[in-house]
Homo-oligomer: A and B are copies of this chain.
Amino acid sequence: MTISFADPKTLDHATLEEGTTFAPRFDAHGLLTVVTLEDGTNHILMVAHMNAETLSLTLETGIAHYWSRSRKAIWKKGETSGELQEVVELRTDCDQDCLVMVVRQTGRGAACHTGRKSCFYRRVKTDQSESRLEDTGLPRLFNPKDVYGA
């Protein structure tokens, strides 16, 4: 089974925004931005990308598959670390160029490669014309060296 999608160029604006046809608008690199949220809490875990192949794989298997821009390869999240993500719901936005994916984060509950639950563990603080980052205090649920090596 391979799930295919409609071509957004074949849809008028109203159908793209209000219709029932799923026609993801991949960018010039063939990618969509995906925001991943934790089921139940709505906490944001990470932001990553999918191409048509990994979107199809995600829908077929119910397990999150992204496209790694740095490795230029299919990225089955958790394949190395064990932190697989089970898809609960996938939503698209008004102009279908972005997805929200609600997941159950398995393993130790760490979506971030630093071992934290979420990639968003620092907040921006400003003071006059200066900006700096402050840790929000998210604990590490694993030691990256133990999982990925030195």
A residues whose Cβ falls under 8 Å from a Cβ of B: 1-5, 17-22, 33, 35, 37, 41-44, 46-47, 59, 89-94, 98-100, 112-114, 119-124, 126, 128-134, 136
Contacts and interface: CB of A to CB of B under 8 A. Distances in A.
B3 A134 contact: no
A126 B59 contact: yes
Contacts of A37: 44
Q: How many copies does the complex hold?
A: 2
A129 B20 CA distance: 16
A75 to B, nearest CB: 14
B47 A114 contact: no
A90 B47 contact: no
A37 to B, nearest CB: 7
3 tightest Cβ-Cβ pairs between the two chains A and B: A93-B119, A42-B42, A91-B120
Nearest to A92: B122
A22 B131 contact: yes
Contact of A47 (B17, B42, B98, B112): B98
A102 to B, nearest CB: 9
